[in-house]
Amino acid sequence: MQSPVAAAVEASPIAPLETLSEHACCGGVQGFYRHASAAIGLPMRFGVYRPPQALQDPTVALPTLVWLAGLTCTEETFAIKAGAQRLAAELGLLLVTPDTSPRHTGIAAADASWDLGHGAGFYLDASQAPWNAHWRMETYLMHELPALLAAHFPFSVDRCSVFGHSMGGHGALTLALRHPGRFRSVSAFAPIAAPLHAAWGVQAFSAYLGDDRAAWEAHDATALVQAGRRLPALLIDQGLADKFLLEHQLQPERFETACHAAGQALILRRHAGYDHSYYFIASFIEDHLRFHAAALQAG
């Protein structure tokens, strides 16, 4: 019997897909694609790594892992820097890397700062002008992109997990909290875990959501856990030499306290000497892929 999530995805409209490039990689194919997005109102790009198992039998849907990247990143960043394809090939995981925001929007303010606008979608639907014209990343990620993946790739909506870095870690946590049952497992590297209390979050929420603090809380992982939302299996890694940790942009301790008080299971690992870069991500990416593979292959 088809799950409600799968039925909703199947019913979504499907846009034609343009292949930008494809590259042989670890026995599979790393590709980058573009399509006209109805949710965003502009073209959107994303990447997909198809492991060797997808080439052997493209009719079999594979367990899927969606990576949400951080500020200034694109759909290419993780694929180029993390070194995840080799283990994904071993584990038979489809890797999906969406872009981090709309592009070429014509909004002057979108290029005024590196941490707001282009490359800084914060994985939410904006309610305030001018951002609400195109900044609908939550709708895009939770509805439109899964339908596109299901139509063109061996994507399993019912065996899907999510992880991310920094702003993308925030996105992984909040999307999983806001959409119970959509993801088998969640993990993050150095997530913005309490954006209500961080300069990045205050700036983004003020611009995208206005002055309504209740709207802010609906996109803050710590506040959502405090309000009773829950996550499946959860892993977070944090480098202790991360300058954004020291600047109080990330605040994992707030999230950890909220999880402990709420009875939310959490593995939070702190690593001396590691910073906020992809060198940190590459050092522990194997742990995250194996963590998600265990959840995706169970049951």
Q: 264: closest CA among 220, 227, 214, 219?
A: 227
**What is the pLDDT confidence band of residue 4, given thresholds at 50, 70 and 90?**
very low
Query: Is the distance from CB of 85 to CB of 23 less than 8 angstroms?
Result: no
Amino acid letter, residue 137? M
Q: So what's the pLDDT on residue 7? A: 47
Q: 148: closest CA among 288, 47, 13?
A: 13
**What is the pLDDT confidence band of residue 8, given thresholds at 50, 70 and 90?**
very low
Average pLDDT over residues 59-64: 95
Q: So what's the pLDDT on residue 13? A: 61
Range list of β-strands (E), the chain: 18-25, 28-36, 43-50, 62-68, 94-98, 155-165, 185-189, 233-239, 267-271
Those residues whose C-beta lies under 8 Å from the C-beta of residue 83, and which sit 6 or more positions away, are 282, 285
- Residue 2 confidence (pLDDT) above 80: no
Q: So what's the pLDDT on residue 299? A: 60
Specify the range with the lowest mean pLDDT, choosing from 49-53, 56-60, 239-243, 279-283.
Answer: 56-60
Catalytic center residues: 166, 242, 276
Q: So what's the pLDDT on residue 277? A: 98
Provide DSSP, 72-83.
Answer: T--TTHHHHHS-
Average pLDDT over residues 3-21: 67
Q: Compute the distance between CA of residue 257 and CA of residue 251 in angstroms, rounded to an integer.
A: 10
**What is the pLDDT confidence band of residue 10, given thresholds at 50, 70 and 90?**
low
- Residue 20 confidence (pLDDT) above 50: yes
Q: What percent of the chain has pLDDT over 90?
A: 93
Q: What percent of the chain has pLDDT over 70?
A: 95
What does the pLDDT look like over 181-209, one tens digit per residue?
999 999 999 999 999 999 999 999 999 99
